[in-house]
Structure 1
Amino acid sequence: MSTPTLRPVVTELRLSAFKTHSRAAFPLGPLTLFTGPSGSGKSAVLEAYAALSRLAGGEPLDEVFRDPEGCVPRHARPDAQGRRGFRIGCTVDGPVGPVRLDVAVQAEPELRVVGERMTGGGETLLETALRDPRRRTVQAAWHTAGSVAVTRAPLPDDRLATALLPLRVAGKTSGQLLALAAAEQVVIALRSVFSCDPRPELMRLPAPRGEARLRGGCENLAAVLLRTRGECARRHAALVAAVRAGCGGPVGDLVAERLDGGAVRAVLEQGALGAMPVERLGDGELRFIALALVLLTGPDVLEVDTVADVLPAQQALTVLVDGLDRCLDRRQARELLDVAARMCARGHVRLVGAVGEGTDVAAPASVVHLGG
């Protein structure tokens, strides 16, 4: 049941026509893992989610979809005007109740939004359509329920109209208030996303000191450790315990060592064996450390484009990780999933990840098998 304090979260992702997917709908829980053979579409699911997140943050289509033709299902045939495209969407639950957002994008001959619909509370709250292909706008109509049922106005065809709606609606009628609240719910949920793909080859390089927010590639992990180790001893102890379980050899602590020239590197303290810079670790151990840090920290430590005027307690962080078990052995994968399960169960974070077909998922998770 929705309550006024419920934090908005994405509960379903729809790939109506996107890459290898057609008429696909995936329910999302606190911990959702997609598994299947190579080519089954695991990465496409996460790409669609990340794209919706970036659109909700106000990014234009051409920055979000660098290869729009590659997003079109291969079986799709152009219409009489030579147009082809793709469709993605999601459902966001929160104080307003379930709100559905569906977006149709034309990839050829020009990249543009050709249709968008947001529905909730039994009403169509926002709808856009391409009326004149010669103009770079769509005709938008949003729920008003005042002296007129809807308000109409042109909006850019390269932006998500739902993200623009709070800038256009005055919020004077009950209908406007409902449309505004629904749009804000969708934007809050979609923008509270951290797409993560640790890059071991970059993590082995010294990081500039003073960077306080972790990037998606985790290349500045050492600089972030310098901050987090002093800010929260309890979370740092949990990180060290996780690293101890996931890395070979003794682990007494994980610290940041200052170098000349304003740089810093991460170091494992190994008791009698002394200190070992993490650049000597294997790719699997580096990815494990980075992902454990992501799961055990908070949105203020991650490079997340959250809604600035909404309290962090009202936003649920969602981490997207393609290849969650990449380079990890079975023990490391099991330990990392245990960390994820604990943090997701506490409501600290939500995780949507893709794992290999043979990965043993013992942790409580919603597992979606793709490819048959």
Structure 2
Amino acid sequence: MTQPSAPAPLAQSGAVPAHPGRPRITELRLSAFTTHRRAALPLGPLTLLAGPSGSGKTGALRAYEALARLGGGAALGEAFPDPAACVPERARPDRLGRRGFRIGCTSDGPAGPVRLDVAVQAEPEPRVVGERLTSDGLVLMRTALRDPAQRVLQAAWHTSGPAPVIHAPLPDDRLGTALLPLRVAGRTPGQRRVLAAAEQTVVALRSAFACDPEPARMREPVPAGSGRLLGDCGNLADVLWRTRSECGRRHAQFVAAVRAGCAGPVADVLALAGAAGTVGAVLDRGDGVRTRAARLGDGELRYLALALVLLTGPGVLEVDPAGEVPAALQTLTVLADGFDRGLDPRQRRELLGLAARMCERGHLRLVGAVSDASWAAETEGVTVVHLGS
């Protein structure tokens, strides 16, 4: 079982560098994860992961989503329902039969660049076996598995107080960084630096929405419910019912986007009440004709769903925002698998342009997976990361 490389000495005290801006993830590292080895993926406000089938695009998005779940306090089993599937195929077990994987990320924000690296044992039983939180090359917090018979990790974090380092046990099924705000007192400059780094990482990770619209689930009326969009966008009609009444300006922008990407005239996008408390999505053509979602093509439905995702926010999407942090300081990251799947050239162009405009405002970031990104080369502000080359 491999763990993060030997850590540097624990950080010494010092001023926290000032970096304005909302916390955001700027790099995803897949040191040993599924098909990835020593991969460092730069993430800008709008990033497209491009590559053929099998290049690891979906795996990278799943790794990000899992880190986001761990950052929100989820247990290891919730973040990785099938951890063995995340182990590189050719990874050999050690003498105790252990195999695992390593992932990490870098966040940037008021605390400056902060690195998080995590080693996970997938077999014979899932557990976190090592974690490291680093700033400016100095380790602020690290954990290690000292006794395999115990379900705890030994953690150490910097204080710069009378005792320069605090040692304490942490559970082996949680992300230690997410637990630090509950464990670190914040009485000394060193402790405050640890807290600032941990909180920035958690805030940057938590507000993530993974989506891959499934047209088949959007065609028929759905029960009216919470009005929070699910990752497969199957309850799109229910969400339209809510968004149209709550924000007329944003709904007008959505209608304009649909008009630009769907065939035929579009005067409005509606959610109409049906039998037994259901609602269904329709396009109002403006001449007395209304087209039900069941009559729309797969590409039109995916386009419509992704446009809605880009034009809404954490209050509408099924995400876990950091409720204790003001919304103005958070950034929603959309993880869109198959971002261009089923779209024609006009729809791709319109959707990418919408994404670029929304990401430019700073409240939203997008990481999308596409098979080929040559069509996006002329769009300003797009970071293309080629996989499988």
Structure 2 Cα separation of the partners of residues 298 and 30 of structure 1? 16
Query: What residue is the counterpart of 1:206 in the other structure?
Result: 221
Deviation at 1:128, TM superposition (A): 0.3
Q: Contact 1:330 / 1:359 at 8 angstroms: preserved in 2? A: no
Q: Is the 8 A contact 1:211 1:220 kept in 2?
A: no
Q: CA deviation at 1:358?
A: 6.2
Q: Partner amino acid for 2:185?
A: A
TM-score (norm 1): 0.96
1:210 Cα deviation after fit: 4.2
What is the identity percentage for the equivalent residue pairs of Structure 1 and Structure 2?
65
What does the per-residue CA deviation read over 1:225-270, in whole Å, with 9 as the maximum and x for residues that have no partner? 1121122222111111111111111111001111232211111001
Which region of structure 1 is more displaced relative to structure 2, 201-210 or 181-190? Answer: 201-210
Verify the 8 A CA contact 2:269 2:281 in the aligned structure 1.
Answer: yes
User: Pairwise CA RMSD of aligned residues?
Assistant: 1.6
The answer as to whether partners of 2:373 and 2:384 remain within 8 angstroms in 1 is: no
Partner of 1:280: 295
1:303 paired with 2:318, answer yes
1:251 aligns with one of 254, 266, 276: 266
Partner residue of 2:97? 82
Give the equivalent residue in structure 2 for 1:366: 383
SS of residue paired to 1:320: strand
Q: Distance in 2 between matches of 1:335 and 1:187?
A: 33
Distance 1:319 1:108 in 2: 31
2:179 maps to 164
CA-CA distance at 1:350 after TM superposition: 0.5
Q: Which residue of 2 aligns with 1:13?
A: 28
Does structure 1 residue 65 correspond to structure 2 residue 80? yes
* Aligned equivalents of 1:129, 1:352: Cα separation in 2: 31
Q: 1:5 to 1:210 in 2, by over 3 A?
A: farther
- Give the CA deviation at 1:359: 5.6
Q: Which runs of 4+ in 1 moved over 4 A?
A: 1-5
Q: Equivalent residue of 1:305, what SS?
A: coil
8 A Cα contact 2:116 2:133, kept in partner: yes
TM-score with structure 2 setting the length: 0.92
Aligned-partner Cα distance in 1 for 2:125–2:95: 15
Partner of 1:221 in structure 2? Answer: 236
Partner AA of 1:96 in structure 2: A
Counterpart of 1:363, as a letter, is T
* Kept in 2: contact 1:18–1:87 (CA 8 A): yes
| Counterpart pick for 1:141 among 144, 156, 159 | 156
Aligned residue pairs total 372
1:21 shift after superposition: 0.7
> What is the CA–CA distance in structure 1 between the aligned matches of 2:228 and 2:265, rounded to whole Å?
28
1:132 CA displacement: 0.3
Runs of at least 5 residues in structure 1 that lack an aligned partner in the other structure: none
Unaligned runs of 5+ in 2: 1-15
* Cα separation, partners in 2 of 1:100 and 1:254, compared to 1, 3 Å: same
In the aligned structure 2, how far is the partner of 1:209 from the partner of 1:120?
47
